[in-house]
Amino acid sequence: MTSRLGPMGTTGMHGPTDRGVGTVRAVLAVPNYRRFVAGQSVSLVGSWTETIALALLVLDMTHSSVTLGLVMATRYLPVLICTSYAGVLVDRNDKRHLLFLTSGVLGATTLAVGLTVLTHTIALWQIFVAAAVFGLMTCLDNPARMAFVPELVGPELLRPAITTNSILANVGRTLGPAVAAFLAHSYGLGWCFVFNAASFALVIIALLALHTSALQPTRVVARARGQLRQGLAVARTDRELAGPLVMMAFVGTLAYEFETSLPVFAEQTLSAGVDGYSWLTTAFGIGSVAMGLILLRWPVTGLRRMVFVAIAYAVAMALLTVSPTVHVGVLTAVVVGAASIAFLTTGNSTIQLSAPPQLRGRVTALWTTLFVGSTPIGAVLIGVIAHHFGGRAALGSGVAGCVLAAGAGLVILLTTRPRSEAISPSERDLRTKRSSPGSTRARQCGTHRRSCGSNASARPSFCAWPRSPTCGR
């Protein structure tokens, strides 16, 4: 953590982990954090289970990829358009209360869809309404959830708490499709939605079980004009924020569209069919979980390390792109899964650790916009490339995205300084005054000014500030 976040110098971003404090074991020993992360972990698996089930449901009802694209656009366009302003709302309100709201609405909506699927009364318009509700609630839920984590633990545990939460979130992203496949095959698509509704109930139970007296809430920001611009300005001037955000813009748009590129690559390029796609997806998940466990022990943060991770991601994607057979593809998919979760976790942890507490909601909202909100753009772009040039070209676009991200991050790293090292004009003037003749008297005068109380007669003769009724100033 950078020094501008207060007394957190022990969590600086100069090493992969901190000795003595900040271990994963210490984080999980915090009751509030343990309860919260347990509910969230199940809920994130449930959300990805519903995402897969929704796609299968739309295709089963309409047999139209165009309709599926429209549903997904309805689901993710609100995230692209509204999340930045939602981050302002997160900073203005109690984050725990916002999570109650989003979890309740999302749980009720997905339960309604699940019941209509099970009773065979589902209609297409209901799916569009549910997709829109999901998008709007995600705008609030994602930044509120990320910004709430620092309120659960003390400053010395902030780094491992954020890293652990980030890793578990991305592991949930990997396990969700597997759960969806099992439930859909064994019990039917409707139970995927019911499972997700139950997971939101667990989130609400976990939030109710938190000891509010042990929380360390960030001061709620009062409503004022220009707060969205303030968040953008901070993200622009701090390289530990600007770097990850710019890098995610490239990677989120071009590399994280595996739901579009992998099926084409498996079925058409490798001629491996649905089984080949399943093997690639499973291998991807194995790599993600394995890397998640490694990062739990040795967390990595900071723009410099993120650049190296992006380079490794590009190499892994390139190896997958040129795989001649499905067997080689499965092996390289493990590496791609590992690099994928490493990039996500490093970036997510870096921006949360770098963001000022009162701006954390706005900054994490920008990350959500670039990661989740880029889906409508990236999916269409990768789909067009796959349609015209094949699966290798679609995956090759991901390689290009990683290379562009690494290049952009390197440029920002070499051409800018950390925000904590920047010296403002007022600070520079102050340092000049302190080094000039008479600075000793100035400090003595300043000391008296702070401590004189009502004793105006004790004021040194060389102090020249105006007098006031309380302190001879």
The 10 Å CB-count burial string (b at 16+, else e) for 5-14 is beebeebbbe
Mark whether 66 and 193 lie in a shared domain: yes
Say if 221 falls within a structural domain. no
Q: What is the DSSP letter of 416?
A: -
CA distances to 22, 433, 443, 471 from 439, in Å:
41, 7, 6, 22
* Averaged pLDDT for residues 78-103: 87
Q: Residue 160: exposed, middle, or buried by beta-carbon count in 10 A (0-12, 13-18, 19+)?
A: buried
Mark whether 197 and 241 lie in a shared domain: no
- Checking if the pLDDT of 69 tops 80, the result is no
**Residue 442: per-residue pLDDT:** 43
**Residue 170: per-residue pLDDT:** 65
Q: What is the DSSP letter of 122?
A: -
Mark whether 40 and 149 lie in a shared domain: yes
* Averaged pLDDT for residues 76-99: 86
Mark whether 259 and 145 lie in a shared domain: no
Contact 221, 151 (CB under 8 A): no
* Closest listed residue to residue 281, CA positions, set 320, 313, 248, 242: 320
**Residue 420: per-residue pLDDT:** 54
**pTM reported for the whole predicted model:** 0.69
Say if 7 falls within a structural domain. no
**Residue 446: per-residue pLDDT:** 44
Structure tokens that stand for 190 in this block: 């409707």
For 184-219, the pLDDT digits (tens) are 888 999 999 999 999 999 999 999 999 988 888 777
* Closest listed residue to residue 350, CA positions, set 337, 363, 338, 369: 363
Choosing from 215, 244, 264, the residue where a domain stops is 215
Q: Which has more confidence, 373 or 127?
A: 127
Mark whether 202 and 242 lie in a shared domain: no
**Residue 31: per-residue pLDDT:** 92
Say if 382 falls within a structural domain. yes
* Averaged pLDDT for residues 220-234: 70
Pick from 18-22, 222-226, 395-399, 416-420: least confident: 18-22
Pick from 41-55, 222-236, 244-258, 328-342: least confident: 222-236
Q: Which has more confidence, 146 or 437?
A: 146
**Residue 222: per-residue pLDDT:** 63
Per-residue pLDDT band at 150 (split at 50, 70, 90) = confident
Mark whether 178 and 245 lie in a shared domain: no
Pick from 186-190, 384-388, 451-455: least confident: 451-455
Choosing from 399, 417, 435, the residue where a domain stops is 417
* Closest listed residue to residue 284, CA positions, set 166, 163, 398, 175: 175
Say if 35 falls within a structural domain. yes
Say if 177 falls within a structural domain. yes
**Residue 16: per-residue pLDDT:** 38
- Checking if the pLDDT of 78 tops 60, the result is yes
Q: Which has more confidence, 149 or 358?
A: 149
Say if 370 falls within a structural domain. yes
Structure tokens that stand for 452 in this block: 């004189």
CA distances to 22, 127, 207, 354, 420 from 140, in Å:
28, 21, 16, 21, 29
Pick from 15-29, 240-254, 305-319: least confident: 15-29
- Checking if the pLDDT of 455 tops 60, the result is no
Say if 66 falls within a structural domain. yes
Per-residue pLDDT band at 421 (split at 50, 70, 90) = low
**Residue 424: per-residue pLDDT:** 43
* Averaged pLDDT for residues 340-365: 83
Structure tokens that stand for 152 in this block: 């659960």
For helices 31-62 and 95-118, the axis angle rounded to 10 degrees is: 30
- Checking if the pLDDT of 313 tops 80, the result is yes
**Residue 220: per-residue pLDDT:** 67
- Checking if the pLDDT of 294 tops 80, the result is yes
d(CA 285, CA 14) in angstroms, rounded, equals 30
Mark whether 185 and 68 lie in a shared domain: yes
* Averaged pLDDT for residues 251-262: 85
121 is in which domain, residue-wise?
A: 21-215
Percent of the chain with pLDDT over 70: 79
Looking up residue 371, the CATH number of its domain turns out to be 1.20.1250.20
**Residue 4: per-residue pLDDT:** 33
Per-residue pLDDT band at 425 (split at 50, 70, 90) = very low
Mark whether 261 and 185 lie in a shared domain: no
- Checking if the pLDDT of 53 tops 80, the result is yes
Q: Which has more confidence, 386 or 465?
A: 386
Mark whether 96 and 162 lie in a shared domain: yes
How many domains would you assign to the chain?
A: 2
**Residue 10: per-residue pLDDT:** 32
* Averaged pLDDT for residues 415-443: 49
Mark whether 319 and 364 lie in a shared domain: yes
Contact 288, 337 (CB under 8 A): yes
Mark whether 211 and 239 lie in a shared domain: no
Choosing from 186, 215, 244, the residue where a domain stops is 215
Mark whether 89 and 181 lie in a shared domain: yes
- Mean pLDDT of the chain, nearest integer: 79
